[in-house]
């Protein structure tokens, strides 16, 4: 199913339903957190990294639809058998759709989406310039979290999701998937 | 007389000797060309030699012949060769004096001490001690030489060379091209004996086989550029015969004739191998008791020439006997306990002498059942196809083949050993780097320390002219990595050891 058809399907079925609940709301915010690779080589080379995740959503009752930007993930590490110093960067926009519920004072939610990631590994040594890699790849993310309203406008948010990304390099394929743990605040209108 | 000989020299003419187009020899290699030229313009007489034949009788020397022949004179191992000259005994001395007692020249020399017999099917005494050896020493020609004196540790003899001189000058005097200025080589001369012009192809085939086999063996294989093996189609009678001393497989030759033929060949001759035209198995090799500083050519080797069907045996006999004559090696098989053994590096009272290079330690060798031999080699069985490491790398008296070779070549560093390349994949996560991990070790036969290594590289399959100096490494290095290679980057490497004086070893090679 193409993206256009998917969006059409969502708007055709979900929006009429949700408008019956509470009407259209807007949510935005920024999360910061850490990314943990599942690939041992990546983990050993770079460890985790601090990242920033600004996002916006349209909320229709229990359903929300939005986008975010995964960035700030530039990590320095030592790579390979000679422990060459290198930098790794992953960034890119995501779109997602989710469902949330109201359980007392908190809003637990689940979401799934697609990411359009750019990645780059750059060596500090000039001799390894030919081995620098820059590319783009589509991935997906699934996860969930909690939103904790504070007053009518502010919300604290915690997210925990899995980001899947399989990158291509020079004679190499690399699984850059991993867990993303985020926390932050948001505004709700 | 010498003056009479000079009259012949004045005759100019053109003569070509030793020019054969058969096999690998004779094609543009040191062809002796007699040029039409006037002797009067030459201040030096550098294309004649004097050969003094000395017969020893219980240590008392006697000059039995003096020959003047066209030929080349050169000193083996010219230049400093520190640590490369074994001193087994006090050498004898031959001196030339001119009118009025003026000394013109002197030269130390050694005499053959043993004659070895090719191995037979049954154990037998395969070595003969030469109690009263005869030796022919080549000297430069001096027009006004009048007296030759030989001194053997104070026991002297002298002779008026004008009275006993025996001149063998051809009607047309050949002129020799001078020896190459860079004479840091071992010159092996293969001489024919008993071949007719029509059968020389068989000689060349045998010589080709011997040359190829010798140069394929350690340590010679590592210095092929510094070893010149020439074949000369000698037509003079060298007096070779089977059944020498009653042993059918022992071929003896007239040493003076052999030396004279070598000197007259126009080739340089540090070592001589005589190929006798015979299909009957046989040969022989002189050893000189361990000395190789002077007149090394007098301890020559002999082999039968055989035919096409026996070529592999012929070359093995030649190299085995060369092991005796050049390497002063002992037979490693046992004669069965007969006393009388020359000092050598490969048949010793204990194996510890060679344990650093050779793990072999087997009892009984040559004429000593109480001595030990190293691992199997061509000095034990002809089919072994190699010298053992003890024979190659011995650094104790009377020195192994490598050290002896170095005396002539000046190559005191040998090609690095075990030079290999291992392809390693370096996981750079988003890229794969390929690494050629090169490793080697210093040759244990090196005579001096390695100061540095020069590593050259060229793309695989590229012409040798594409070799470029890639890096210089410390002399203690035993490995290095060629990094930053992509999947299809393959290389061939050349590694050269360098000593503190800048002398380079032969190269070792490896590649992907």
Encode pLDDT of A5-55 as tens digits: 766 665 555 555 555 455 788 999 999 999 889 999 999 999 877 889 999
For residues B268 and B179, the answer to whether their CB atoms sit within 8 Å is yes
B429 contacts in A (CB within 8 Å)?
A: 41-42, 45, 79-80, 88, 121, 169, 172, 174
Nearest CB among A80, A121, A133 relative to B427 is that of A80
Per the CB < 8 Å rule, is B433 touching A80?
A: yes
Residue with tokens 């070895």: B116
DSSP code at position B89: S
What is the per-residue pLDDT across B132-191, written as a single tens digit (0 to 9) for each?
999 999 988 888 888 999 999 899 999 888 766 555 555 454 444 444 434 678 899 999
**Which CATH number characterizes residue A59's domain?**
2.40.160.20
In a domain, A20, yes or no: no
Does residue B288 carry a pLDDT above 90?
A: no
CA proximity to B381, closest of B41, B121, B159: B121
A80 contacts in B (CB within 8 Å)?
A: 426-429, 433
Pairing of strands A84-100, A107-123: antiparallel
Instruction: Determine which of B424, B425, B427, B429 to mutate to test the interface with A (most A C-beta atoms within 10 Å).
Output: B429
A81 contacts in B (CB within 8 Å)?
A: 424, 426-427, 435
- Alpha carbon B144 to chain centroid, angstroms: 33
B487 contacts in A (CB within 8 Å)?
A: 171
The whole-number pLDDT of residue A14 equals: 57
Does residue B25 carry a pLDDT above 60?
A: no
Report the share of chain B in percent with pLDDT over 70: 82
Confidence of residue B67 (pLDDT cuts 50, 70, 90): confident
Task: Tell which phi-psi region holds residue A83, choosing left (phi > 0), alpha (psi between -120 and 50) or beta.
Answer: left
Confidence of residue B358 (pLDDT cuts 50, 70, 90): very high
Confidence of residue B23 (pLDDT cuts 50, 70, 90): very low
Distance CA(B431)–CA(B428), nearest Å, equals 5
Task: Give the DSSP H or E segment for A133.
Answer: strand A133-150
Confidence of residue A61 (pLDDT cuts 50, 70, 90): confident
The whole-number pLDDT of residue B10 equals: 28
Per the CB < 8 Å rule, is B487 touching A131?
A: no
Task: Record the tokens describing residue B256, joined without a space.
Answer: 């003076």
Distance CA(B402)–CA(B271), nearest Å, equals 15
Q: Does the beta carbon of A169 lie under 8 angstroms from any beta carbon of chain B?
A: yes
Task: Tell which phi-psi region holds residue B79, choosing left (phi > 0), alpha (psi between -120 and 50) or beta.
Answer: left
In a domain, A5, yes or no: no
In a domain, A55, yes or no: yes
Does residue A107 carry a pLDDT above 60?
A: yes
In a domain, A4, yes or no: no
A50 to chain B, closest Cα gap in Å? 20
In this structure, the number of other CB atoms found within 10 A of the CB of residue B257 comes to 22
What is the per-residue pLDDT across B6-18, written as a single tens digit (0 to 9) for each?
322 222 222 223 3
B336 to chain A, closest Cα gap in Å? 60
CATH number belonging to the domain at B417-511, selected among 2.40.50.140, 2.60.40.10, 2.40.50.1020, 3.40.50.1100: 2.60.40.10
For residues B93 and B77, the answer to whether their CB atoms sit within 8 Å is no
For residues A171 and A161, the answer to whether their CB atoms sit within 8 Å is no
What is the per-residue pLDDT across B418-446, written as a single tens digit (0 to 9) for each?
999 999 999 999 999 999 999 999 987 78
What is the per-residue pLDDT across B436-491, written as a single tens digit (0 to 9) for each?
999 999 987 787 889 999 999 999 999 999 999 999 999 999 999 999 999 999 99
Does residue B85 carry a pLDDT above 50?
A: yes
- What residue numbers bound the domain in which A41 lies? 29-188
For residues B22 and B200, the answer to whether their CB atoms sit within 8 Å is yes
Between CA A60 and CA A67, with CA A63 as vertex, the angle to 5 degrees is: 95
Per the CB < 8 Å rule, is B433 touching A131?
A: yes
B488 to chain A, closest Cα gap in Å? 11
Q: Which residues contact A116 (CB under 8 A, 6 or more apart)?
A: A92, A93, A94, A136, A138
- Give whichever of A55-59, B78-82, B163-167 has the largest mean pLDDT: A55-59
> What number is the ipTM of this complex?
0.83
Average pLDDT, chain B: 83
Task: Tell which phi-psi region holds residue A61, choosing left (phi > 0), alpha (psi between -120 and 50) or beta.
Answer: left
A130 contacts in B (CB within 8 Å)?
A: 484, 486
B482 to chain A, closest Cα gap in Å? 12
3-state secondary structure of A160: strand
Q: Which residues contact B31 (CB under 8 A, 6 or more apart)?
A: B16, B18, B19, B266
Task: Give the DSSP H or E segment for B94.
Answer: strand B92-98
Average pLDDT, chain A: 88
B424 contacts in A (CB within 8 Å)?
A: 81
The whole-number pLDDT of residue B178 equals: 42
A42 contacts in B (CB within 8 Å)?
A: 429
Q: What is the pTM of this model?
A: 0.65
Does residue B30 carry a pLDDT above 70?
A: no
Report the share of chain B in percent with pLDDT over 90: 53
Q: Does the beta carbon of A133 lie under 8 angstroms from any beta carbon of chain B?
A: yes
Query: Number of folded domains in chain A?
Result: 1
Q: CA-nearest residue of chain A to B433?
A: A131
Per the CB < 8 Å rule, is A171 touching B424?
A: no
Residue with tokens 């004179």: B73
The whole-number pLDDT of residue B28 equals: 29
The whole-number pLDDT of residue B230 equals: 93
């Amino acid at each position: 199913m193409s993206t256009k058809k998917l969006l059409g399907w969502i708007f055709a079925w979900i929006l009429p339903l949700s408008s019956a609940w509470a009407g259209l709301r807007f949510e935005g915010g920024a999360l910061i957190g850490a990314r943990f690779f599942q690939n041992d080589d990546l983990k050993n080379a770079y460890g985790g990294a601090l990242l920033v995740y600004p996002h916006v959503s349209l909320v229709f009752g229990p359903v929300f639809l939005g986008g975010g930007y995964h960035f700030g993930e530039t990590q320095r590490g030592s790579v390979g058998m000679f422990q060459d110093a290198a930098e790794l960067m992953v960034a890119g926009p995501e779109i997602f759709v989710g469902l949330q519920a109201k359980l007392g004072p908190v809003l637990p939610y689940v979401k799934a989406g697609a990411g359009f990631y750019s990645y780059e590994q750059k060596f500090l040594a000039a001799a390894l310039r030919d081995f620098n890699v820059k590319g783009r790849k589509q991935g997906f993310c699934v996860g969930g979290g909690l939103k904790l309203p504070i007053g009518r406008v502010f919300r604290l948010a915690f997210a925990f999701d899995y980001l899947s990304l399989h990158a291509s390099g020079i004679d190499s394929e690399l699984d850059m998937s991993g867990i993303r743990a985020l926390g932050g605040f948001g505004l709700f209108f | 007389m010498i003056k009479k000989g000079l009259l012949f020299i004045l005759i100019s003419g053109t003569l070509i000797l030793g020019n054969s187009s058969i096999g690998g020899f004779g094609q543009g290699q040191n062809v002796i060309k007699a040029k039409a030229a006037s002797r009067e313009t030459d201040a030096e007489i550098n294309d004649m030699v004097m050969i003094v034949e000395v017969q020893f009788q219980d240590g008392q020397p006697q000059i039995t012949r003096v020959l003047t022949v066209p030929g080349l004179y050169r000193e083996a191992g010219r230049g400093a060769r520190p640590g490369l000259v074994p001193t087994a005994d006090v050498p004898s001395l031959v001196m030339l004096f001119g009118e009025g007692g003026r000394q013109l020249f002197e030269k130390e020399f050694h005499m053959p001490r043993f004659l070895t017999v090719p191995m037979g099917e049954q154990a037998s005494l395969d070595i003969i001690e030469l109690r009263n050896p005869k030796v022919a020493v080549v000297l430069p020609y001096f027009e006004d030489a009048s007296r030759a004196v030989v001194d053997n540790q104070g026991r002297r003899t002298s002779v008026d060379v004008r009275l006993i001189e025996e001149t063998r000058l051809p009607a047309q005097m050949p002129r020799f091209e001078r020896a190459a200025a860079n004479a840091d080589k071992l010159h092996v001369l293969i001489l024919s004996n008993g071949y007719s012009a029509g059968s020389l192809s068989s000689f060349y085939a045998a010589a080709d086989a011997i040359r190829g086999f010798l140069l394929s063996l350690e340590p010679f294989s590592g210095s092929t550029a510094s070893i010149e093996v020439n074949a000369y189609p000698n037509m003079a009678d060298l007096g070779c015969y089977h059944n020498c001393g009653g042993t059918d497989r022992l071929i003896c030759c007239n040493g003076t004739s052999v030396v004279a033929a070598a000197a007259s060949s126009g080739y340089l001759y540090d070592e001589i191998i005589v190929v006798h035209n015979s299909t009957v198995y046989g040969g022989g090799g002189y050893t000189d008791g361990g000395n190789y500083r002077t007149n090394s050519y007098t301890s020559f080797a002999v082999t039968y020439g055989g035919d096409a069907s026996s070529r592999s045996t012929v070359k093995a006999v030649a190299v085995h006997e060369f092991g005796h004559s050049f390497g002063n090696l002992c037979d490693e098989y046992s004669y069965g306990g007969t006393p009388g053994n020359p000092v050598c590096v490969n048949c010793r009272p204990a194996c510890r002498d060679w344990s650093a290079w050779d793990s072999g330690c087997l009892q009984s060798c040559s004429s000593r059942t109480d001595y030990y031999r190293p691992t199997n080699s061509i000095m034990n069985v002809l089919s072994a196809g190699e010298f053992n490491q003890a024979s190659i790398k011995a650094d104790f008296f009377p020195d192994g083949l490598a050290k002896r070779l170095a005396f002539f070549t000046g190559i005191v560093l040998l090609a690095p050993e075990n030079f290999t390349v291992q392809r390693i994949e370096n996981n750079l996560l988003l890229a794969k780097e390929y690494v050629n991990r090169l490793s080697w070790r210093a040759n244990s036969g090196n005579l001096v320390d390695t100061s540095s290594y020069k590593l050259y590289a060229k793309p695989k399959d590229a012409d040798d002219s594409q070799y470029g100096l890639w890096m210089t490494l410390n002399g203690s290095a035993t490995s290095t990595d060629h990094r930053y290679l992509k999947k299809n980057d393959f290389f061939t490497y050349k590694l050269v050891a360098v000593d503190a004086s800048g002398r380079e070893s032969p190269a070792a090679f490896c590649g992907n």
